Amino acid sequence: MHNRRPERRLAPSLLSADFADLAGAIRASEAAGAGAFHLDVMDGHFVPNISFGPALVHAVRRRTRLPLDIHLMISDPVRYAPVFREAGGDTLVFHLEATRDPKATVEALRATGAAVGAAIRPDTPYSAIDPWVPSLDQVLVMSVHPGFSGQQFLPEALPKLRAARQQLDAIGSAADLSIDGGVTEETASAAAEAGATFFVCGNSTFVGGRVDANLQRLRASVEAGAARAVR
């Protein structure tokens, strides 16, 4: 049931951009065909780093119409969901490891009016997310340990992508299947082949300041992997 699969999109992670020139990073990404922006929110508690909060999401919202994908690497996603929605988040993605009650979390995030995603860390098995997949607009598989950009892709993510793809297709879900962490022109094709549709690209988007050439290479890698998957 492939017909309900969403379009494949590249989502630059602004964590890797120059914070003093986010407007420039947004413009360059849009011109290069980005399909969304991924915003990594870190609280210094769920992950060992602090990034930014709703004020920055709001500033980005004022500069782009592309969807804003808010990756909540925070311990209390339910508490902060409304402010990230009000700041302009289109999709709120929580971590399964951050909640004891995923059902209530999905409901609380959905009540803000946002689309809802759930993420799993590399040390979390696919079986942890499996029961919640039918209620999600996005399944996010992490291919690095959350906290920092510029890390190496962990191939353990690939079997999880394949399991998610199988489940999404089986239930006819058009949810996005996201891969996040270490996605480069070398690794994007394997993720696409495994069924990912939403490619978070931090370092690989902004490295060298050549956003246009970088996204072109990433796009080519994604399409090559997707072509292998249909053969």
Closest CB 170 distance from Zn ion, rounded Å = 27
Q: Of the listed pieces 77-85, 125-133, 165-173, 201-209, which binds ligand DX5 according to CB under 6 A?
A: 201-209
40 binds ligand DX5 (CB under 6 A): yes
Cβ count near 100 (within 10 Å): 6
The candidate with the shortest Cα–Cα distance to 66, out of 33, 97, 40, is 33
The region of 12-20, 23-31, 74-82, 222-230 touching ligand DX5 under the rule CB under 6 A is 12-20
Task: Give burial (CB, 10 Å; 0-12/13-18/19+) of 169.
Answer: middle
Contact assessment for residue 27 and residue 14, using Cβ atoms and an 8 Å cutoff: no
Among 21, 40, 76, 130, the active-site one is 40
| Active-site residue flag, 40 | yes
- Shortest CB 200 distance to ligand DX5, Å: 5
Q: Are 226 and 192 in contact (CB under 8 A)?
A: yes
For 112: left if phi > 0, alpha if psi spans -120 to 50, otherwise beta; the answer is alpha
d(Cα 182, Cα 202) in Å, to the nearest integer?
8
Are β-strands 9-12 and 198-201 bridged in parallel, bridged antiparallel, or unpaired?
parallel
**121 contacts Zn ion (rule: CB under 5 A):** no
User: Which residue stretch of 19-27, 37-45, 56-64, 130-138 sits at the interface with Zn ion (rule: CB under 5 A)?
Assistant: 37-45
- Residue number, nearest CB to Zn ion: 71
What mask of x and - would describe binding to Zn ion in positions 159 to 198, judged by CB under 5 A?
---------------------x------------------
Whichever of 70 and 226 has its CB closer to ligand DX5, that residue is 70
212 in active site: no
**Residue 197 binding partner per list Zn ion, ligand DX5, none, with a CB distance cut-off of 5 to 8 Å that depends on partner kind:** none
Q: Cα–Cα distances in Å, from 198 out to 14, 49, 100, 138?
A: 15, 24, 26, 9
Q: Does 117 bind ligand DX5 (CB under 6 A)?
A: no
Please enumerate in sequence order all residues whose Cβ is within 8 A of that of 74, keeping only pairs 6 or more positions apart, or say none.
Answer: 41, 42, 43, 45, 46, 80, 98
Of the candidate spans 92-100, 159-167, 179-187, 215-223, the one that interacts with ligand DX5 by CB under 6 A turns out to be 179-187
Which residue in 97, 53, 47 sits closest to 73, CA to CA?
A: 47
Active centre residues (catalytic)? 40, 180
Q: Which residues bind ligand DX5 (CB under 6 A)?
A: 13, 15-16, 38, 40, 71, 144, 146-151, 180-183, 200-204
